[in-house]
A and B are shown apart, each in its own frame.
Chain A
Amino acid sequence: EVQLVESGGGLAKPGGSLRLSCAGSEYPFSHYSMSWVRQAPGKGLEWVASISASTVYIFYADSVKGRFTISRDNAENSLFLQMNDLRAEDTAVYYCARDLAFDFGDPLGYWGQGTLVTVSS
């Protein structure tokens, strides 16, 4: 069974940084595109960033472009989200998700349990 486990969330001050990690297991991690999706308290889902299996394709939402960086280490079966210049509106549960199949842009077939990021002074 595919497993995705996020870590790294917590409290950060405005302007601060956090690095989220997502460990994938029970599947060939290097074969699949990965994404980060967030959900602010009481709000809907918001796509944040995606990275293709070989890192050829990387896309960001405008709301995080220039502040967040998505990356992956296929040797370590890990996905990362470096978040800099954090703002109050970045407060959310952050989910990592794996594409259902091999093509970039496939539906998000598997999700982690999420990690909470709170940005507050």
Chain B
Amino acid sequence: DIEMTQSPSSLSASVGDRVTITCRASQTISKYLNWYQQRPGKAPELLIYASSTLQNGVPSRFTGSGSGTDFTLIINNLQPEDFATYSCQQSYRTPWTFGQGTKVEIK
């Protein structure tokens, strides 16, 4: 199975900050990397797919990049609604696997 490792597990940031979350795959997954946002008590929502493509309606302050084994999610100008948990997922090969999640908290 392909293991997905995110870092950090959590972080504290302020409104307006730039936040960087990384995701590493245990083997190459090309660009089959997706990011999900999950607000407390809510279902996950697709944020970015194929490493860098924003899902419809996602603000441009979210940026995804990477290929192979190393991927990055950047949130510029952090907004109050961005405080949530972010999870990466590989869709290269079954079993689809998720990272453990990164919780972005208010400083």
Contact of B43 among A44, A61, A95 (CB under 8 A): A95
With beta carbons under 8 angstroms apart, the residue of B1, B46, B49, B101 that contacts A45 is B101
Chain A's interface: helix, strand, loop or mixed, by majority? Answer: strand
Total A-B pairs in contact (CB under 8 Å)? 59
Q: Are A114 and B43 in contact (CB under 8 A)?
A: yes
Chain B nearest CB from A25 CB (Å) reads 16
A47 to B89, CA, bound (A): 10
Q: How large is the interface on B (under 10, 10 to 19, 20 to 34, 35 or more residues)?
A: 20 to 34
Place the interface of chain A in its size category: 20 to 34
Binds B, one of A16-24, A81-89, A102-110: A102-110
Interface string of A74-112 (1 = CB under 8 A from B): 000000000000000000000100001000011111111
B45 contacts chain A at the CB level, 8 A cutoff:
yes
Task: Pull 25 A–B residue pairs with CB atoms less than 8 Å apart, ordered by A.
Answer: A35-B96, A37-B44, A44-B99, A45-B36, A45-B44, A45-B101, A46-B98, A47-B89, A47-B95, A59-B94, A62-B95, A100-B49, A106-B91, A107-B49, A107-B89, A108-B34, A108-B44, A108-B89, A109-B46, A109-B49, A109-B55, A110-B46, A111-B43, A112-B43, A113-B43
